[in-house]
Structure 1
């Protein structure tokens, strides 16, 4: 792949950088900028979203006909990294999970009528959304074939019974994508449905307390006791739920990595700034070899993550699935973010452990990165399956066609 980015993508990156530095970073130190769950205050968010829209930095990941800029996956990688240099960035630009993944899958598989009804309001920033797949034991988590929530067809309607949990954004969402079992078929037993929060027959049992900080709407436990969904709200067709999930999660896992790279770089910046001014025993921290080794290794690990993300993004842009590449990026970047926050706290000492910097916020947030959208161990297991299947070809380079 060619690592040059287009002038258009570079223009977006520069404008995002400037917006983040001017509009977002100054707000992070003000307690009034946060809601009670340690995310950006919704009133402030609305103001900043309007500014992002006005500057043409809104929903860059979608096609122009759906309200976006039509960025490629490679272009998204560049821009998302810049966005998440601030903890507030992704949600301000409407590129935060779960809306980000939900918008992209609705764009990819929704009918024109479904995109008008379910996608456009999210794009306009009028509603939030959630993806309801994960279930408590013995239901499905990383293995969607274990899903036990059922949708029984009755004429042109499906009646849903079941139990979901850790549904990100559930308390604030209006539009939900629901994964439910419609048959016992191993490959075609799941179906993806859309439903609205105002429909009867379901309930938010609780907002699950977490280490935090939390996304808007938290992580919720949902129960379904007769929710009725019309057949017209099925995505891609009955029995195609696993395919919908694969389409959504493949890109969504990678966009997590794109964003986390920016956050890891922010940790490095906070660490370097402090190391440059803090002295002990007659020497600056920045001049100590031990600190230099930590920061040098961290910079290398971030760059490894960037290369893996770019390779996966490039493969997706070529029309491939990039399953190996996404799994490798997910493990590398999630662990690098966790490492970046930990090292930055160590360099900052007690200051890093306090709320005088963003580092403790990022550290708590980073720990979930190794769990969401597939735990490290699941992705490593998947990679081993590829290795078992491909052997040495696991590392094979794609070969270009000869010019005619």
Structure 2
């Protein structure tokens, strides 16, 4: 594969990086810029979002006809990494989860009427959205076949009963994508639905407290007790829910990795800056071999992560589901992020453990990376299944001219 990026993509990356440096990073040191849950306050967010729209840096991941820049997954990898040099970055450009994944899947599979009703307001930044799939035991988590929330068809309406939890952004969301069971068929038993927060028959039971900073709208438990959804609000078709999860979750997992690479690089940046000026026993930290080994190892692991992400992005752009590539990137980069934050805190000492830098924020946030969108162990199991099925072909090189 060609590892160069186009001048078009580089121009966007450069502009994103300049925007982050000038407009977003300064807010991180201002306690008044944070909301009660450790994210950027809404007043600051709306101001910056307006600036991003004015500068043409809005929804870069979407097609031009949808309101984006049509960068493709490779272009997104380059720009998302630059966005998440700041902990506040992605949401400013309307490229943060869960809206990011929801917009991409609605763009890919929604009908024209569904795009106008459900997608356009998210693209415009008028509403937030959520993806309601995960359930408490014994319901579905990483294994969607275990989903127990039921949607019973009654004429042209589906009636929903069940429970979801850890639904990111639910408290602030207006538009929801809901995964529910419509039959016991192993492959065609799930269906994806669209509903609005103002519809009766459901409620947010609680916003679940977590150990780290939160996305806007938190992580919520939802109860459905007779929510009625018109058949016109089925995404794709009845029984296509499993296919929809494959379309949505693969790219969404990879966009997490793209952003986490930016945070990992930020950790190294903070650690290097401190090591270059901090003296101990007559020697700069940066001149100590132990510190050089720590930073060199992180630099290598970040580059490995970038290569894994780029290969997966390239495969997605060619029309592949890139299951192996996404799983490898997800495991590696999730663990890298945690290691980068831990190492940077160690180099910074007490300063790193304090709130004088964003390292402690990243460290608390990083622990969830090994769980969200599939735990490490699930992805390793998926990789082993591919290994069992493909054998030596697991490591094959694609040949020019072959189909994706």
Return the TM-score normalized by structure 1: 0.99
Q: Show the 5 A alignment for 1:170-249.
A: 170-249=170-249
Which residue of structure 1 lines up, in the alignment, with residue 297 of structure 2? 297
Structure 1: runs of 5 or more not aligned: none
Tell me the alpha carbon deviations over residues 172-204 of structure 1, each in whole angstroms, 9 at most, x when there is no partner. 000000000000000000000000000000000
Aligned to 2:127: 127
Does 2:6 correspond to 1:10?
A: no
Q: Which residue of 2 aligns with 1:332?
A: 332
Query: What is the deviation of 1:320?
Result: 1.0
Q: State the partner residue of 2:76.
A: 76
CA deviations over 1:110-139 (Å, ceiling 9, x no partner): 000000000000000000000000000000
CA distance in 2, matches of 1:301, 1:86: 20
How far apart in 2 are the matches of 1:353 and 1:62? 38
User: What does the per-residue CA deviation read over 1:224-262, in whole Å, with 9 as the maximum and x for residues that have no partner?
Assistant: 000000000000000000011110000000000000000
Could you say which residue in structure 1 is the equivalent of 2:53? 53
Task: Quote the Cα distance in structure 1 between the aligned partners of 2:296 and 2:317.
Answer: 31
Structure 1 Cα separation of the partners of residues 401 and 100 of structure 2: 35
Counterparts of 1:2-401 in structure 2 under 5 Å? Answer: 2-401=2-401
Q: CA deviation at 1:401?
A: 3.1
For residues 112 and 197 of structure 1, the distance between their equivalents in structure 2, rounded to whole angstroms, comes to 21
Consecutive unaligned residues in structure 2, runs of 5 or more = none
Whole-angstrom distance in 1 between the partners of 2:321 and 2:153: 32
Task: Please state how far the C-alpha of 1:319 moved relative to its aligned partner.
Answer: 1.0
Q: What is the alpha-carbon distance in structure 2 between the residues aligned to residue 202 and residue 391 of structure 1? A: 47
**Residues of 2 paired with 1:363 and 1:82: CA distance?**
19
User: Matched residue of 1:298: which SS?
Assistant: helix
Displaced runs of 4+ in structure 1, greater than 6 A? none
Give the drift of 1:321.
Answer: 1.1
Secondary structure at the aligned position of 1:86 is classed as coil
| In structure 2, distance between residues paired with 1:35 and 1:317 | 37
Q: What TM-score results when the alignment is normalised by the length of structure 2?
A: 0.99
- How far 1:273 moved relative to its partner? 0.3
- Count of paired positions: 402
Alignment RMSD: 0.6
